[in-house]
């Protein structure tokens, strides 16, 4: 399988690292022998139809900040779209940063990949939050696969659990703590009796929150994940604008204190049960969903199997890259089945 | 797909119920059109090569306590082995009660099914705990599938999460609360400050514990699940005798109190991390594994995706039957792939 890797930040580099470290096992256990034929980052591209040396690419990125400087395989000026269009490959791995304003550049990358007959694995929530119903149709039309396990739960197989683990069942409702930063802030507010502002500053110091924390604390990141789950798991045709979103800026110590007296706490809960929503919600401390710190948790309410909750870290480069590898193996498996038909 | 249903207790009847209620969807969504051609219970068998009327079979069971009395299709004297051997079918669903002494009658049912080329889906922990490595080899030798999702976690897809959800990753260790009865007892001891004996009696009154609660409170049920996970997920060749088992009879209120002062509690934890063990273990109340009441929880420690925890009810007829349906769909899918080769 030939792969074009678009975006070479933390997740992209972690994927290169995993592919290097797991290559013997993936061939042996899954007959999966990936070749990364192109890598694109902000400084340009490196292309080798025989497969790039991933160890060299990691070193080069560290040294120069881009792979475009490779003396033999580097193309410092080449755009990502040109690479996706012109390089022969089966799959585009799109791991550029999320942009929920217009989904770019991820949205164009995905469309270009589809148009040239390439499957897409992405960890980019922007294009999916804005246009997942259309993208799923476009993938079908072009007879290619679109996979995005890493967008919900990081390395935690939230989407797989719902889709595969509950095969034959019917998922009626979903609710979850879908954002680690806000969960960290709410946990610290309660534990240490500090204000939202103080907890936010602490999260920023520890690198759990960005300098501009809007995406997280205003609930937008969680809303993106609600959209993705609603489409993928429950066959809804929602986009970001359909989600009623409320962040955690207005959660007070007083409200947390009152909840605590009732044996409850306040968490930012994304929910799909009728209309999709994201809002600070009082839940019991005994609810399996009630996890602390940066953990994420999702509960699926299914018709026959009952309620299942899955908990894990919702982020991390290596974790998210492991989700990309799962998606690549899934596509590989589907292609093998197709070939036999 | 023709199915022989061996055992027609709570799980068997729940499966019949699900097959009835889901028939339109399973055909539409999965091309899965099951026909139950035989049902065996303690009072005999009912056989119809064209498929039994499941609604009638449920009513008959309620009325007579057996399906063997059916005027047209009933065989009151026929043994389960004779049915498995003589009736043409693709799959045997084995849902008789667990017996960890010698695995019977489940063990013979499974072997007979294999010998006559039938796949097996079972919820019976006895044969697996005693002989899973041998049974997996025997299934391979006879070119049939053996599936047993319902043996761990009831309807909660614990085995699927590990096997499918973490595809491409490597599971290094597993630990879990694998038995709802003991978890209920330990939870009540701590919450209400009552002794083990008092909590056990309460569990028995509520139907959470059997009249003979040995399997649960001595950790044997949990040990069976440890064996199943070790073999299926981690490719170990363990049987029940390899598990070091300690139950919860000796857990005192004093010990629970001491743990509580440290922010911890005591849970019956099954663990595969080196040697397989089951023992009362002190864990943090903030550990995602720390669930209360009859809930089960399992944490997988994986190489790349980090730690994942799955939580759900570990029992229930409908829940366990939903796991049987998942297994049937999995076998159906595998057979379809095989046909294409």
Give the pLDDT confidence score for residue B5 in this predicted structure.
98
Put simply, the answer to whether B309 touches A311 (Cβ < 8 Å) is yes
For residues B223 and B215, give the distance between their C-alpha atoms in angstroms, rounded to a whole number.
10
**CB–CB contact B165 A167 (8 Å):** no
Q: A83 to each of A41, A80, A274, how far by Cα in Å?
A: 11, 5, 42
User: What is the C-alpha separation between B15 and B21, in angstroms, rounded?
Assistant: 10
Facing residue for A161 by CB, picked from B155, B165, B330: B165
Q: How far is CA A6 from the centre of its chain?
A: 15
**Closest by alpha carbon to A335, among A90, A85, A84, A139?**
A90
CA separation for the pair B206, B209 (Å, rounded): 8
Spell out the residues 6+ positions from residue A29 whose beta carbon is closer than 8 angstroms to its own. none
Token output for A161: 């659990």
Q: How far apart are CA A289 and CA A338, in angstroms?
A: 39
Cβ of A309 and B305 within 8 Å? Answer: no
**Distance, CA of B285 to CA of B306 (rounded, Å):** 20
Angstroms from A232 CA to nearest CA on chain B: 15
Sign of the CA dihedral with B314 first, then B317, B321, and B322 last? negative
Mutation target to probe the B interface, by most B beta carbons within 10 A, among A24, A157, A293, A337 is A157
Which residues does chain B have within 8 Å of residue A168's beta carbon, measured at their own beta carbons? 22, 26, 30, 32, 322, 325-326, 328-329
Q: Which pLDDT score, from 0 to 100, does residue B209 have? A: 85
CA distances from A14 to A19, A315, A340, B318 (A): 9, 13, 33, 42
- Tens-place pLDDT, residues A240-259: 999 999 999 999 999 999 99
**A28-52: b or e for each residue (b if 16 or more CB lie within 10 Å)?**
eebebebbbbbbbbebbbbbbeeeb
Please give the pLDDT value at position B239.
96
Please tell me the distance from the alpha carbon of residue B247 to that of residue B220, in angstroms, as a whole number.
Answer: 8
Query: Of B53, B149, B49, which is closest to residue B95 (Cα–Cα)?
Result: B149
Give the integer Cα–Cα distance in Å for A222 and B270. Answer: 34
Comparing alpha-carbon positions, the chain B residue that sits nearest to A25 is B168
Residues in chain B: 341
CATH 3.30.360.10 in chain A: give the residue spans.
158-313
The partner residue sitting opposite A310, judged by closest CB among B167, B306, B308, is B308
pLDDT of residue B12: 97
Query: Cα distance from B266 to chain A (closest Cα, Å)?
Result: 16
Supply the DSSP symbol for B103. -
CATH 3.40.50.720 in chain B, residue ranges = 2-155+318-340
pLDDT at B252 (0 to 100): 97
The fold adopted by the segment(s) B2-155+318-340 is Rossmann fold (3.40.50)
Which whole number is the average pLDDT over A96-117?
A: 97
Size of interface A-B (CB pairs under 8 A): 156
Over residues A166-173, the mean pLDDT reads 90
According to DSSP, residue A290 is labeled -
Residue B30 CB contacts under 8 Å (≥ 6 apart), including other chains: A167, A168, B329, B332, B333
pLDDT at A341: 57
Q: Give me the sign of the Cα torsion angle A23, A28, A30, A34.
A: positive
The Cα of A22 is separated from the nearest Cα of chain B by a number of Å equal to 8
Give pLDDT tens digits for A174-231: 999 999 999 999 999 999 999 999 999 999 999 888 888 999 999 999 999 999 999 9
- Chunked in runs of 10, what are the mean pLDDT values of chain B (341 residues)? 97 96 86 95 97 97 97 96 97 96 97 98 97 97 97 94 87 97 97 96 91 94 98 95 98 97 97 96 96 96 93 92 95 82 57
Burial A300-325 (b: 16+ CB within 10 A, else e): bbbbbbbbbbbbbbbbbbbbbbbbbb
CA A90 vs. chain centroid, Å, equals: 21
Judged by CB atoms closer than 8 Å, whether chains meet at B322 and A18 is answered as: no
**Is A156 in Cβ contact with B305 (below 8 Å)?**
yes
Interface probe for B, chosen from A93, A152, A167 (most Cβ of B below 10 Å), is: A167
Active site residue B225: yes
Place of tokens 């797991």: A22
Per 3-state DSSP, what percentage of chain B is helix, strand, and coil (rounded to 5)? 45, 20, 35
**What would the CATH number be for the domain defined by A158-313?**
3.30.360.10
Q: Which two tokens stand for residue B68?
A: 């063997």
Query: Which pLDDT score, from 0 to 100, does residue B26 have?
Result: 84
Take residue B162 and report the two structure tokens written for it: 């590990």
DSSP H or E run through B38: strand B35-41
């Amino acid at each position: 399988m030939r792969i074009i890797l678009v975006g070479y930040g933390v997740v992209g580099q972690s994927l290169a690292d995993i592919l290097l470290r797991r290559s013997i096992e993936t061939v042996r256990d899954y007959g999966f022998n990936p070749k990364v034929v192109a890598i694109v980052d902000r400084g340009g591209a490196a292309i080798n139809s025989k497969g790039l040396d991933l160890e060299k690419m990691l070193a080069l990125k560290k040294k120069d900040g881009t792979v475009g400087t490779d003396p033999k395989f580097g193309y410092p000026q080449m755009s990502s779209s040109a690479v996706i269009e012109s390089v022969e490959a089966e799959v585009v791995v799109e791991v550029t940063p999320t942009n929920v304003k217009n989904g770019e550049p991820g949205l164009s990358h995905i469309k270009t990949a589809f148009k040239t007959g390439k499957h897409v694995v992405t960890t980019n929530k922007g294009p999916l939050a804005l246009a997942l119903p259309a993208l799923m149709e476009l993938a079908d039309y072009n007879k290619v696969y679109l996979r995005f396990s890493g967008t919900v739960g990081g390395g935690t197989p939230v989407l797989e659990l719902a889709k595969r683990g509950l095969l034959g069942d019917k998922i009626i409702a979903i609710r979850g703590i879908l954002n680690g930063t806000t969960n960290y802030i709410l946990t610290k507010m309660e534990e240490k009796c500090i204000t939202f502002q103080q907890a936010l500053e602490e999260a920023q110091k520890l690198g759990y929150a960005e300098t501009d924390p809007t995406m997280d604390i205003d609930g937008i990141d969680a809303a993106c994940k609600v959209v993705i789950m609603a489409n993928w798991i429950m066959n809804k045709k929602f986009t970001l604008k359909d989600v009623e979103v409320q962040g955690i800026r207005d959660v007070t110590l007083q409200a947390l204190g009152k909840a605590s007296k009732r044996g409850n706490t306040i968490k930012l809960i994304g929910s799909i049960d009728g209309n999709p929503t994201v809002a600070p919600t009082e839940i019991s401390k005994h609810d399996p969903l009630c996890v602390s710190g940066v953990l994420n948790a999702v509960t699926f309410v299914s018709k026959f199997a009952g309620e299942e909750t899955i908990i894990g870290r919702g982020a991390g480069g290596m974790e998210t890259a492991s989700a990309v590898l799962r998606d690549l193996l899934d596509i590989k498996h589907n292609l093998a089945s197709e070939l036999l038909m």
